[in-house]
Amino acid sequence: MRFTRTRPKYGTFRTVTKFLWFPIEITVVNDNGTTTYSKRWLETATYEELFTRGRIGDFWKKIRWIPND
């Protein structure tokens, strides 16, 4: 049996919900050019990631926090 690993397409979004044991920082560049930094940890949080291409390799880039209701 051969193991094949599938990669998501570039630009694919996914939503992640997990307990943050370690700090996660999300950097958001707003439409007006300002940058917002937000760090959260030791809580259950939901955030959205984008599959993108980097210089070293492909990775999931954290895009925005999603409020837990």
**In the 3-class helix/strand/coil scheme, how is the chain assigned residue by residue?**
CCCCCCCCCCCCEEEEEEECCCCEEEEEECCCCCEEEEEECCCEEEEEEEEEECCCCEEEEEEEEECCC
Determine, yes or no, domain membership for 60.
yes
Determine, yes or no, domain membership for 28.
yes
Against a cut of 0.75, is the pTM above it?
yes
Q: Is the distance from CB of 53 to CB of 2 less than 8 angstroms?
A: no
For 44, the domain range is 19-66
pLDDT digits (tens, 9 = 90+) for 13-50: 999 999 999 999 998 888 888 998 999 999 999 999 99
Determine, yes or no, domain membership for 5.
no
Determine, yes or no, domain membership for 7.
no
The predicted pLDDT at position 69 comes to 66
Domain total for the chain?
Answer: 1
